[in-house]
Amino acid sequence: MVSRFATPERQSQRSEDSPKVHYSAKRCAMVLSVLVTTALAYVCFWSSLGLNAEGVTYMVSHPMLCIPEDGQVVQALASRIICASWCNQLLGLVFSYVDGVCEVFAVGQETYEKTRTFTVFTPEVWSGIAEIGVGKTVDSSPAYVGGGEFLYNYKANDGDVTTLFATNPNLNHPWWIVDLVEPNLVVKVDILTRQDCCQNRFHDVEIRVGTVRNGGDFSGWALIGFYKGPYSTAEGRLIYENATGLCGRYVSVQKIVDATSPLQIADIKVYAAMP
């Protein structure tokens, strides 16, 4: 018959084992405490990035007046944290996460130097508009250089209406763009073409606003204006406006017909919303 009571030998053995059992339990508690602390820190970290609400669009690194919608990629992902990480990898400016779908906007427009911290996008109220294009970096189809004339692309936005930019005359779909450095809410573009002669060369011109470049193809950007023409000096400056604004880093001007006449711009001004 087996006794239900411990013998002195068993009591002695239990007494010796008790410190070991107590030490093991204490160790488990310490490990669990570390894991909980780490998890809480992780949650707090991502909460500090503004990742605590469903269906909200988030900004990357710095506040902006608008959300650029070109250069967009979409992918189904498991969480908004993974979506944020994907946005970092793609160097996107903005991401949103709704119902398992991650959207990243303005891919490739962020820089590695900027702090990769997200804040919730909140539209700001305009205080007015201001010209922001004069003196900014530009790009274009090859400029006309010949006969003692040097009609370089920077002359279109140098603030001087007496200078002139013109492309080479032997190009189809000649274009010019200005880089506004970062996405702005463009509300007005004001163009003056050549005034001393050859005004009828300005026709079939599109003015667009966008953020992600694709060479000389701007067809995917938002259209702020189209001029059929041909132009006459009686028309003066050509003004194109969008009441709510179009978000983009660049403004392009391009002839869209298959013709070999040059694109000529004496002056161009770009107006954007100011906070």
User: What total number of domains does the chain contain?
Assistant: 3
Asked if residue 1 is part of any domain, the answer here is no
Q: What's the rounded mean pLDDT across residues 128-152?
A: 93
Residues 115 and 63: their CA atoms lie apart, in Å, by 12
Give just the sign of the alpha carbon dihedral 9, 14, 17, 18: negative
Domain that holds residue 161: 128-274
Are 155 and 189 in a shared domain? Answer: yes
CATH number, domain of 269, equals: 2.60.120.260
Among 37-46, 70-79, 156-165, 212-221, the minimum mean pLDDT is found in 37-46
What pLDDT band is residue 210 in, cutting at 50, 70 and 90? very high
Please write the tens of the pLDDT for every residue from 30-60: 545 544 444 433 333 333 333 333 445 666 6
Read off the pLDDT band of 124 (50, 70, 90): confident
Predicted local distance difference test score (pLDDT) of residue 167: 95
Residues 181 and 257 in one domain: yes
Instruction: Name the pLDDT band for 158 (thresholds 50, 70, 90).
Output: very high
88-114: pLDDT as tens digits: 889 888 888 888 999 999 998 887 666
Domain's final residue, options 75, 97, 120: 120
Q: Same domain, yes or no, for 17 and 34?
A: yes
- Examine residue 35 and state whether it is found in any structural domain, yes or no: yes
Q: Of the candidates 120, 152, 174, which is a domain's last residue?
A: 120
Residue 154 lies in a domain: yes
pTM score, whole prediction: 0.76
Q: 264 and 135 in one domain? A: yes
Q: What is the rounded distance in angstroms from the CA atom of residue 175 to the CA atom of residue 191?
A: 14
